[in-house]
Amino acid sequence: MEISTLKMFVKVAELKSFSKAATALDIAQSYVSTRIHQYEKELGTELFIRHNKGVELSAQGIIFLDYANRILSMVDEAESMLRQNSNAGLLRISTMQSTAQTYLPAILSEFHKQFPEYKLRISTSNAAMNIEKIFRYEAEFVYVAGYIDSKDISSVKLTDEKLVLISNQRINNLQEFLSAGNTTLLAFPSGCAYRKQTENWIADQKLIIKNIIECDSIPAILSSVIAGMGYAVLPQNLVVEHIRNEFLYAHELPKKYSLIPLNLCYRKDMKLSEGMKKYIEINKKLPFI
């Protein structure tokens, strides 16, 4: 359905003539007639009854005219809103749960202060799924932990997150702890960058994770670790309060595995509005300085 065809339909219905509608729209009568005829074929019904003196709306055409007027009215309203405020728009942002709890609130708050007209739609997914959302045009911006290797994606590194192993008891020797064979890893489902980093670390030590319990909720993972179900690897700033209150103990990972980049990603071919450019700028400044 094209807006231009709807406008032709409404004008013909108003003037009861293809020729008068063509003159009013400043286009050829043959084009108006052809487009309306094609549209009727697409819909599988006649919108107009043709006769020697002009045209009249059919029963189906009368019903369709009401919908057409409403659609065109909404289009006019949307265009008017955008002309009045070029900053207005929608930003769909998909983030990891950890980023949503740590960095994102301050970023969104600052952006909303500067661009209150923007509608924000926030969703959460793991790193792999967030990348897929960009390719499916389901989000303008996504947050991804880990390294990005795609010629179609622009990536802005925001910070290095420090990963720690957490447990409900002190572990004096991680190697011995993991070698015991009776330990359980609590982790997000496959696609999580933190889980992948953990699996790489353990595999490089020639060890095997025999038992993995998958959780798609940070509170569920933390509560399970506190209850003694197993251990987890998460960003340190996500668990600092639990550590301070001695509900959890944090253990340093080898440097090679402890740092993981956090990136803001978007499509390279996306046309950036002023609001989008500002969103990127805010991410670079807050709260990573």
Domains 90-159+261-285 and 160-259 share a fold: yes
pLDDT value of position 87? 56
Q: Which long-range contacts (CB under 8 A, 24 or more apart) does 124-127 make?
A: 124/94, 124/95, 124/96, 124/97, 124/100, 125/94, 125/95, 125/96, 126/96, 126/188, 126/189, 126/191, 126/192, 126/193, 127/96, 127/191, 127/192, 127/193
Tell me the pTM. Answer: 0.69
Residues 234 and 166: beta-carbon distance below 8 Å = yes
Between CA 11 and CA 14, with CA 13 as vertex, the angle to 5 degrees is 65
Return the structure tokens found at 289.
């300085």
Q: Which CATH class is domain 90-159+261-285?
A: alpha beta
Alpha-carbon gap, residue 30 to 92, rounded angstroms: 43
- Which residues of the chain fall below pLDDT 50? 289
Tell me, which fold does domain 3-84 have in CATH? Arc Repressor Mutant, subunit A (1.10.10)
- 220: number of Cβ within 10 Å: 12
Does residue 287 have a cis peptide bond before it, meaning omega lies within 30 degrees of 0? yes
pLDDT score, position 287: 65
End-to-end CA distance of the chain, in Å? 49
Task: Among 3.40.190.10, 1.20.1260.10, 3.40.50.720, 3.90.45.10, name the CATH number for the domain at 160-259.
Answer: 3.40.190.10
Name, in order, each residue with C-beta under 8 angstroms of 6's C-beta and a sequence gap of 6 or more: 68, 71, 72
The Cα 174–Cα 183 span in angstroms is 11
* Alpha-carbon distances of 5 from 25, 59, 68, rounded to whole Å: 11, 19, 10
Closest CA to 160 of 238, 254, 262: 262
Bridge-partner residues for 250, per DSSP? 166
Q: What pLDDT shows up at residue 175?
A: 84
pLDDT, residue 271, reads: 86
Q: Where in the chain are the domains?
A: 3-84, 90-159+261-285, 160-259
Helices (H), 125-235: 127-135, 174-179, 193-204, 218-226
The C-alpha angle 235, 287, 147, rounded to 5 degrees, equals: 50
Three-state DSSP class for residue 228: coil
Which pLDDT belongs to residue 85? 56
Residue 267: phi and psi, rounded to 5, are -70, 140
* Predicted pLDDT of residue 88: 62
Contact between residue 185 and residue 198 where contact means Cβ atoms under 8 Å apart? yes
What's the rounded Cα separation, in Å, for the pair 271 and 106?
A: 25
